Amino acid sequence: MIVVLAGGVGAAKFLEGLAAVMPPDEIAVICNTGDDAAFHGLHVSPDLDTVLYTLAGMVDRERGWGIAGDTFGCLESLAFLGKQTWFQLGDRDLATHLARTERLRQGATLSEVTEELRRALGVACRILPMSDGFARTRLRTTAGWLALQEYFVKLRQEPEVLEVDFTAAASCRPAPGVLAAIQEAAGVIVAPSNPILSIGPILAVTGMREALRATAAPVAAISPIVGGRALKGPADRILASLGLGSSAAAVAELYRDFLDVFVLDRSDVHLLDEIQEKGIRAVATETVMNSPEAKQQLARTVLQELAAKRASCSR
């Protein structure tokens, strides 16, 4: 089993490549749920859905999230009824949230519901929420304390992030199977997701960092920062405003206690020494995933690095 710690869009693109170069049923995804939120009484899990829709081949490729060709009749009508509609919910997408919410209200866990959705959508990879608990991330910003989607969608990531509160995640236990997957993995990959907002909550869940440090499996991470810039989203600005610096090296530093291999973009080749000095093997390659081939090539590179690490450790 290869275990992937995943946020949303960036992770989903990487997972597409990975599932194309190895048996997808040997991939276990541990997915961030710190973004989860309630809209119109429905439980929305943005990162789980992005991963599910992408692996099911139904994602809207232009946006990176939601369902291709979806309509927005319900959202338009909610706006007409005077409801807040800054969080975009397509009509087909709504079915997922309705099904999830109804099952949760019936007493099912988020893990169980995610497994049901995975099967219904025909996704072969195992998909595990990081926790079945309430693990919502909160942000202290120049616009006050915000829930993640308020910052991300409603305020378009415009306020400066001053502090990130993972208290909720830190009081959550990992979902069933999560720690075992890490312990028994042949390799662990931290996807190229926002290291603070997407991977941060996963690492904050009780026992998660300890499991990553303790596993015999090599752990690799892919930098979401290329040339000091996030390819998508506010990761660079958040790293900077939290005083961590905004280079790929700052990401490696965040994962330093459990990381064996760091894959960064070839445009950041000048950072190789800085990262290797942390005791982490650093590899520069093409990390921008603009085509199926690029996704698969990146996946192959990471798998090769993990295999090499396993070989060197067992010698």
Q: Which residues lie near its own copies (CB under 8 A)?
A: 40-42, 67, 70-71, 73-78, 80-83, 90-96, 98-99, 101-102, 105, 117, 120-121
**Cα four-point dihedral sign 149, 154, 155, 156:** positive
Angle at 189 between CA 263 and CA 247, to 5 degrees: 40
Give the Cα separation of 10 and 7 in Å (integer). 7
- Minimum CB distance to its own copies smaller for 120 or for 214: 120
CB of 177 to its own copies, least distance (A): 22
CB 248 within 8 A of CB 225: yes
CB of 84 to its own copies, least distance (A): 11
Give the Cα separation of 151 and 168 in Å (integer). 17
CB 199 within 8 A of CB 17: no
- Minimum CB distance to its own copies smaller for 150 or for 260: 150
- The pairing of beta strand 138-141 with beta strand 161-165: antiparallel
CB of 146 to its own copies, least distance (A): 21
At residue 279, the 3 state secondary structure works out as: coil
- Minimum CB distance to its own copies smaller for 66 or for 201: 66
Question: Three-class SS string for 100-113?
Answer: HHHHHHCCCCHHHH
Q: How many Cβ atoms from other residues are within 10 Å of residue 244's Cβ? A: 16
- Minimum CB distance to its own copies smaller for 82 or for 243: 82
- Minimum CB distance to its own copies smaller for 56 or for 272: 56
- Minimum CB distance to its own copies smaller for 102 or for 184: 102
- Minimum CB distance to its own copies smaller for 50 or for 198: 50
CB of 81 to its own copies, least distance (A): 5
CB of 29 to its own copies, least distance (A): 19
Q: Which of 59, 53, 51, 14 is nearest to 32 (CA)?
A: 51
Which residues pair with residue 229 across a beta bridge? 226
- Minimum CB distance to its own copies smaller for 70 or for 132: 70
At residue 266, the 3 state secondary structure works out as: helix
CB of 150 to its own copies, least distance (A): 18
Give alpha helix (H) positions in 56-177. Answer: 73-80, 91-105, 110-120, 148-149, 167-170
